[in-house]
Amino acid sequence: MKRKQIAAIDFGATKVATVMADTNGAGALRIVGVGMAASQGIERRIITNTKQAAATILQSVREAEKMAGYRLKSACVSVSGAGIRSLNSRGLISIPHSNQLVHAADRKRALEIAQSTEIPDDQRLLHVIPRSYNIDGQGSIMNPVGMYGFRLNVETHIVTADTEQVQSLTRCITSNGIGISGLVLKSLASAEAVITEDEKQNGVVLADIGGDITDIAIFKDGSAYHTATLPVGGHHVTNDIAVGLGIPFHLAEAIKKKYDVLTPETDGGSDVTVTENGCSVSYHDLREIAGARIEEIFRLILLQIRASDDAKPIRSGLVITGGSGSSQGIVKLGRAITRLPVRIGSPLNLYSNDDMLCDPAYATSVGLLYWKMKSHGSQNNWSKRDRLGVLFPRWLGYFSSQNRQSNNQLKEKGNGKSKLRTQPSHN
């Protein structure tokens, strides 16, 4: 069977990641290329310099192409930022058939009516996600096709994005000769990689904590119920440390990564001094400053949960992904604040944590591939382990070495003189 080539580009504030893969259409996904570049021309997921942003994307793509051995023609792309909006809408139709049997065309018509809600001119439609169907008052129906009734009602979750920003992103990618096979909300893509169908059914929250933004997606009854973007992320933690302790931003970032500032002291409560590049700071102060900002993020997540629907519990808890979501102490703090089960969401879980794609920072990249496969009907009745198939052993050493090199390059962004190199934290 001929293998189909697919690819993903995760466009973030800290990095642009390109992942190339192929699939045989029967559930086997093989990663063949990975590329990373430190983001330039991007602030708060908004393109501020089109030329720099396009060059960053091209650098990431070229690295992936070199590894894969062929040119990337099109990719599924993540979308995020302050311009994301969401709302819930309903579509109601009558079943015109004499036997009152609901056809696929009826379902489509109900969805079209639901998405006909007025969308501002400065917004572009990204997703129309069915939350549930209702036939003649009987609710909580996931697929009405083949059922009987007189009226079909669908409740949907609609996601839109800022038109200008989508156009800017599109230009940056297409100017490099790359087509766009899909635009996917970042949190929904991440969920494809790290959340199970059972968790979605029982109620679960995904929080993708990035550099400057936290993307939220809440799932209930098997579908996306609520999405939101919070204007706070890991860079805010670093900035708080830099300002609070009077040290440079790049040094605060290095200390934050190296010392896992959310983990409690283990020496009976006495303060400890940590040193980096000749700078000594109080570990207690680090924890106080970082913990306050992360606590704020968790409380904002709680507000989004309450805004979605208080009547439906979140039994499966909170799953954290993103480059700022791998701290060992973040799970304990999250449980204390939210009173929910909390875990770190790793996208693959096939190899050791030394493997690059096992890091929560790459949940979106892998999730975009899963999303693309699902949209082509090849993601039915197979597990995540089956979905990934086999990463050929000859790639594993390359992945690990590239991970260390890429993370070091990202940490040097914004300060050409800084040569701090620290290893990422993993659970």
Structure tokens at 270: 């006495």
Report long-range pairs for 233-239 (Cβ below 8 Å, ≥24 apart).
233/13, 233/209, 233/297, 233/322, 233/324, 234/209, 234/210, 234/322, 234/323, 234/324, 235/13, 235/211, 236/212, 236/293, 237/289, 237/290, 237/293, 237/294, 237/324
Radius of gyration from C-alpha coordinates of the chain: 22
Residue 163: how many CA atoms within 13 Å on its side-chain side?
7
**Has residue 419 got a pLDDT over 70?**
no
Structure tokens at 114: 């639901």
Residue with tokens 């940490």: 411
Model pTM?
Answer: 0.83
Q: Please give the single-letter amino acid code of residue 208.
A: D
What is the distance between the alpha carbons of residues 411 and 249, in angstroms, rounded to a whole number? 11
> What contacts 310, CB < 8 A, 6 or more positions away?
none
Class at the top of the CATH hierarchy for domain 85-162: alpha beta
Judged by average pLDDT, the poorest of 60-64, 154-158, 314-318, 418-422 is: 418-422
Distances (CA, A) of 114 to 92, 143, 323: 8, 16, 35
- The full set of domain ranges for the chain reads 85-162
Q: Please give the single-letter amino acid code of residue 221.
A: D
List the beta bridge partners of residue 209: 214
385 or 221: which carries more pLDDT confidence?
221
Q: Which helix (H) or strand (E) holds 321?
A: strand 318-321
- Mean pLDDT (the chain) is 82
- What region does 126 belong to: left with phi over 0, alpha with psi -120 to 50, or beta? alpha
pLDDT of residue 121: 86
**Has residue 109 got a pLDDT over 70?**
yes
Cα–Cα nearest to 403, from 369, 353, 346: 353
Residue 249: CB atoms within 10 A of its CB come to: 16
> What contacts 266, CB < 8 A, 6 or more positions away?
none
DSSP secondary structure, 261-272, as one string: TTSPP-STT---
Which tens digits make up the pLDDT trace of 58-108? 999 999 999 999 999 999 999 998 889 998 899 999 999 888 999 999 999
**Has residue 400 got a pLDDT over 90?**
no
Structure tokens at 345: 């969401």
Structure tokens at 34: 């990975």
325 or 195: which carries more pLDDT confidence?
195
DSSP secondary structure, 270-302, as one string: ---EEEETTEEEEHHHHHHHHHHHHHHHHHHHH
Report long-range pairs for 372-377 (Cβ below 8 Å, ≥24 apart).
372/6, 372/8, 372/76, 372/181, 372/182, 373/6, 373/23, 373/29, 374/192, 375/182, 376/4, 376/25
Cα torsion at 160, 342, 322, 362 (round to 10°)? -100
**Has residue 172 got a pLDDT over 90?**
yes
**Has residue 217 got a pLDDT over 60?**
yes
Burial of 69 (0-12, 13-18, 19+ CB in 10 A): exposed
